[in-house]
Structure 1
Amino acid sequence: MTGTDIGVAELESVAASLIDDQFWATDRTDELALLRHGSPVHWCETHGYWALTRHADVLAVSKDNETFVSRFGVLYGLLTDTPPEVPGSLLSADPPMHTHYRKILQPAFAPSRMRALEARLRVLAGELLDSLPVGEPVDWVAAVAVPFPLIVLAELMGLPPESWREFHVWVDSAVASGGRRDADKSPEAQRHLAEMYAYLRDAYAEKRATPDDGVVSMLVAHREPDGRALSDAELMLFLAQLFIAGNETTRNSLTGGLVTFSENPDQWARVVANPAAVAPATEEVLRWSTAVINFFRVPVVDTAIAGVPIVAGQPVCMNYTSANRDELEFGPTANSFDVLRDPNHHLAFGFGAHFCLGAALARLEIRVLLDELRTRFTTIEPAGEVVRTASHLIAGFSSAPLVFGR
């Protein structure tokens, strides 16, 4: 086999691995660079999709929701030739339905609500951080990264904060089985999904009787232009997605960020020394960790990406992990963690019509936690093996042992 043949085979292998859960159980910076440099718009013969790994190309597809649509599915395992009349999630909806759904949910993340939430976030972050041992190993995931965003979401919804433990089980199960049709999910995953739905049904029934200022009550009180209330199915769709999507970015970006700070103590020293570094550090944590790995779009007309012809109906895989390490966008330091990076036009929240609805909340949570952390601990050190979850959807962590020092 010639060197060229080996190169082609390697490129195809990486492109095919983008949807392989086990591929993502370890860091894949080098493999993604190989594909990004060698074939940034790559037709994956193995699975039948275009793999996009450059920032500019992922951005272009994200901006063009008329050519590249979501209704045929945004996860590889859920791609279909016949989209359902009612989308299974906000992610797989297109305008005008997608626009309408976002309008319903946007008040949950309104700037006024986020401002009112910050004081409570600082109290909660402080309580969790004050419980960490000093100078002894602790699993950051279990101690802070898991409970923090789930407690915030529960309180934002108007649900008991202690319900975070149940949602932890349900959300982890939903993410682990993500990209599979309901019939293909394990009995345990189906049971967890049923338990979450039952809990949420009880929650919105209770809020109908005794409303409060939480998001569940907001959705229950919502009326469509024709006066119709949201159906049970719509309420379930919105609430389940808010809990699943609203947890993962914060949880895994925080963990990825803290692990990286432990490996780059000079960067944590910058944050500790300068409160003004917290805001850009938040953006760098989001870029570096890139919690969402892949989403798909399907073109409805023949088109081209970076001059490469794309036939209508051929799915395109947008790999955000690679896009956020693209040297053409982030320069020669793209593979360096720099808390003062400016500009930092990362795609951790996507872009365009499907820009993450909860981005303001995730940014606030990460910023507050980093700010509270820097006043308590001057050092963060690795304390054992970091265990990544095997998923081609979410760049997650199941364990991250760290030592915090003063």
Structure 2
Amino acid sequence: MTDVAARAERTHEPLTDQFLGVELSVADAPAYYAELRAKGRLLWNASQGFWVAPHHAEVMAVSTDPATFRSGQGILTFEIGAEYATPPTMMHTDPPEHTRYRSLVQPAFGRRVVRTLDESVRAAAEALVADLPVGEPVDVVAPLAVPLPVQVIAQLLGLPEERWDDVWEWSEASIPGTDTYADPERRAALHDEMLQELLRLVGQARTNPTDDVISQLVGVEVDGDRLTDDEMTMFLNQLLVAGNETTRNTISGGLVALAENPDQWQRLVEDRSLVPGAVEEILRWTTAVIYFMRTATRDVVLGGEQVLAGDPVVMLYASANLDPEQFGPDAAEFRIDRAPNHHVAFGFGAHFCLGAALARLEVAAVLDALLDRGVTRLELAGPVGRSRSNIIAGVTEAPMVLHTS
């Protein structure tokens, strides 16, 4: 049977784009993802021609087999069939190219480096929390969730305070589906502005290195190999966008979850040792990156289905992180003492997020700062706004009252 005929014979129930989170309310999402998982281990989207993996086990299987499921043909559904002369991000590479990149950038993002940032990240979180009013409504997105990761990324890049707003704009303009910059010309202009500034910073680091992450990256050499200027710019673009958008929405989504589950915040008030577990549960619950995609390099059976070479496979992280097979019958509940908590909010395998330790630090810093401020309860004070991106689970506004008594 030819590949074309094999694909034509697939009779799976058609799926809509809703599976990616579009038009799903947070209240509806767990039930919808449960419905997807009940339909099968692997689901075929006939209208767009890709498989959907809604279960944790299949997401892990794809994540840990880069030889069979490659990233180089696109990691988002609108990239199906794309061919890149040079990778737009490190996430679009496969071993051995990806292994080379990891060896050259990992030294700048190891746990030792993150530990050196602990004091400054916590100080930034404390300052932002100190400025929040208590006992009256405040949207925690704009004054807290947005500026903290922006400040951290700007610090990593060596950008002065007057450029912090630019970092936010560049990041927003780089996320498909966000409403902030709907004008494609404005998006393109901001993207070009970002690339030019990153190139300038790379050149500056080569001639006058300091202690920022760019200077560390340009100084890394492995067996005589170094990152080129174009490769540096590609990686810094990924760092700026991914390190900002995902962490911001994890913080805001996590605070919403704690406001919706006041008993869980009370447990933190009573026992600060639960903060690390709360961070992991927030990561699982918010799943800032809804999905990534891989493309099969050969015919393979996955989840009991015949996947053909060239088939795209979507790893639906948002569903996998609610899978009862992995997390038990209370998987659809927010519980800060969940253990074990093998979530895939950072992906897994070769492409495990380089910034995972830094993201964990930022979320923990916010929780600790709120507890230090004496916040005893988080109360929602209005509707929570959500972005319409089907890639990033964005929280655009989260009005709440911080109670201290």
TM-score (norm 2): 0.92
Aligned-partner Cα distance in 2 for 1:32–1:154: 36
Per residue, is there more helix in 1 or in 2? 1
Instruction: Write the mapping of 1:187-226 to structure 2, written as runs, cut at 5 A.
Output: 187-223=185-221, 225-226=223-224
Aligned-partner Cα distance in 1 for 2:276–2:81: 41
Question: In the alignment, which residue of structure 2 is the partner of 1:380?
Answer: 378
User: 1:356/1:147 Cα in 2 relative to 1: closer, same or farther (>3 Å)?
Assistant: same
Aligned-partner Cα distance in 1 for 2:78–2:187: 16
The answer (yes or no) to whether the contact 2:205–2:215 under 8 Å persists in 1 is: yes
Secondary structure, counterpart of 1:176 in structure 2: coil
The answer (yes or no) to whether the contact 1:272–1:375 under 8 Å persists in 2 is: no
Question: In the alignment, which residue of structure 2 is the partner of 1:130?
Answer: 130
Aligned-partner Cα distance in 1 for 2:73–2:12: 29
Question: In the alignment, which residue of structure 1 is the partner of 2:292?
Answer: 295
Question: In the alignment, which residue of structure 2 is the partner of 1:175?
Answer: 175
The answer (yes or no) to whether the contact 1:387–1:399 under 8 Å persists in 2 is: yes
Question: In the alignment, which residue of structure 2 is the partner of 1:181?
Answer: none
The yes-or-no answer on 1:236 pairing with 2:237 is no
Aligned-partner Cα distance in 1 for 2:105–2:303: 35
Aligned-partner Cα distance in 1 for 2:161–2:275: 27
Match of 1:248 among 245, 249, 262: 245
The yes-or-no answer on 1:309 pairing with 2:280 is no
Q: What runs of 5+ residues in structure 1 fail to find an aligned partner?
A: 1-7, 179-183
* Partner AA of 2:38 in structure 1: H
User: 1:222/1:280 Cα in 2 relative to 1: closer, same or farther (>3 Å)?
Assistant: same
Match of 1:321 among 308, 318, 322: 318
The answer (yes or no) to whether the contact 1:383–1:401 under 8 Å persists in 2 is: yes
Question: In the alignment, which residue of structure 2 is the partner of 1:55?
Answer: 56
User: 1:279/1:103 Cα in 2 relative to 1: closer, same or farther (>3 Å)?
Assistant: same
User: 1:268/1:187 Cα in 2 relative to 1: closer, same or farther (>3 Å)?
Assistant: same
Deviation by residue 1:120-171 (Cα, 9 ceiling, x = unmatched): 1111111000000011111111011010011011112222244221111110
Aligned residue pairs total: 391
Aligned-partner Cα distance in 2 for 1:346–1:372: 25
Question: In the alignment, which residue of structure 1 is the partner of 2:327?
Answer: 330
Instruction: Write the mapping of 1:42-81 to structure 2, written as runs, cut at 5 A.
Output: 42-80=43-81
Secondary structure, counterpart of 2:310 in structure 1: coil
Aligned-partner Cα distance in 2 for 1:29–1:112: 37
User: 1:339/1:163 Cα in 2 relative to 1: closer, same or farther (>3 Å)?
Assistant: same
TM-score (norm 1): 0.91
Give the % identical residues.
42
Q: What runs of 5+ residues in structure 2 fail to find an aligned partner?
A: 1-9
Moved more, 293-302 or 211-220: 211-220
Instruction: Write the mapping of 1:362-401 to structure 2, written as runs, cut at 5 A.
Output: 362-376=359-373, 377-401=375-399
Aligned-partner Cα distance in 1 for 2:177–2:383: 25
* Partner AA of 2:198 in structure 1: L
Cα distance, 1:348 vs structure 2: 0.3
The answer (yes or no) to whether the contact 2:12–2:43 under 8 Å persists in 1 is: no
Instruction: Write the mapping of 1:132-171 to structure 2, written as runs, cut at 5 A.
Output: 132-171=132-171
* Partner AA of 2:194 in structure 1: M
* Partner AA of 1:163 in structure 2: R
User: 1:340/1:162 Cα in 2 relative to 1: closer, same or farther (>3 Å)?
Assistant: farther
The answer (yes or no) to whether the contact 1:62–1:351 under 8 Å persists in 2 is: yes
Question: In the alignment, which residue of structure 1 is the partner of 2:98?
Answer: 98
The answer (yes or no) to whether the contact 1:224–1:230 under 8 Å persists in 2 is: no
Deviation by residue 1:333-364 (Cα, 9 ceiling, x = unmatched): 00000000111010000110011111111111
Aligned-partner Cα distance in 2 for 1:399–1:31: 23
Aligned-partner Cα distance in 2 for 1:264–1:170: 34
Cα distance, 1:309 vs structure 2: 1.2
The yes-or-no answer on 1:263 pairing with 2:264 is no
